[in-house]
């Protein structure tokens, strides 16, 4: 299909997290390892054709008024696209994700992000390049679903003021 949800909302108990400032429904999302900023900027300058195409559909709040960030450092990771208002991460997977060790590394990374209450949608380059309307439509559907779903009463990441 044109989009696989590989991680879903997790209601695991909150413990010390690398994600420690405001964000999605109070999820702490702004802290990141400072050494990720230079590689993040480099990734922005050298986006793949598929990432550029998808960015042209996500930027400037084109999908339901939601702001996306590209090559966003989160915790110890850099994600391709991030919409904090929806707690949504979009990953565009190129050929390197087919290498033998990559699927397990992706699963571990997605699991960590999921434990922070985020949802990861992965699309391969081919889907982004060939399904130019279907991929943004799938992302838009997930945004609407996540934006209208109230957080669970036991949601562990509420921000106190």
Average pLDDT over residues 140-152: 79
Supply the DSSP symbol for 99.
S
Rounded to whole angstroms, the maximal C-alpha distance in the chain is 46
* Cβ count near 74 (within 10 Å): 24
Question: Which position has the higher pLDDT, 142 or 97?
Answer: 142
102-121 pLDDT per residue, tens:
788 889 999 999 988 899 99
Q: How far is CA 103 from CA 18, 106, 107, 122, in A?
A: 23, 5, 6, 12
User: Taken in order 95, 101, 105, 106, is the CA torsion positive or negative?
Assistant: positive
- Helix, strand, coil shares of the chain, percent, nearest 5, are 40, 20, 40
Confidence bin at 148 (pLDDT 50/70/90) = confident
What is the per-residue pLDDT for 65? 94
What is the per-residue pLDDT for 110? 92
15-24 pLDDT per residue, tens:
334 444 444 4
The enclosing H or E element of 83 equals: strand 77-83
Confidence bin at 96 (pLDDT 50/70/90) = low
């Amino acid at each position: 299909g044109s989009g696989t949800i590989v991680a879903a909302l997790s209601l695991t108990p909150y413990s010390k997290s690398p994600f420690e400032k405001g964000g999605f429904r109070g999820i702490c999302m702004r802290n990141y390892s400072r050494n990720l900023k230079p590689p993040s900027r480099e990734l922005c300058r050298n986006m793949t054709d598929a990432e550029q195409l998808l960015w042209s559909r996500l930027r400037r709040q084109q999908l339901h008024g939601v702001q996306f960030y590209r090559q966003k450092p989160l915790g110890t990771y850099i994600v391709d696209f991030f919409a904090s208002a929806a707690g949504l991460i979009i990953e565009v997977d190129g050929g390197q994700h087919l290498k033998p060790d990559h699927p397990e590394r992706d699963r571990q990374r997605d699991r960590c992000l999921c434990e922070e209450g985020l949802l990861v949608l992965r699309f391969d380059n081919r889907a982004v390049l060939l399904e130019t309307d279907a991929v943004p439509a799938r992302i838009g559907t997930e945004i609407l679903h996540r934006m209208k779903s109230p957080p669970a009463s036991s949601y562990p990441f509420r921000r106190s003021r």
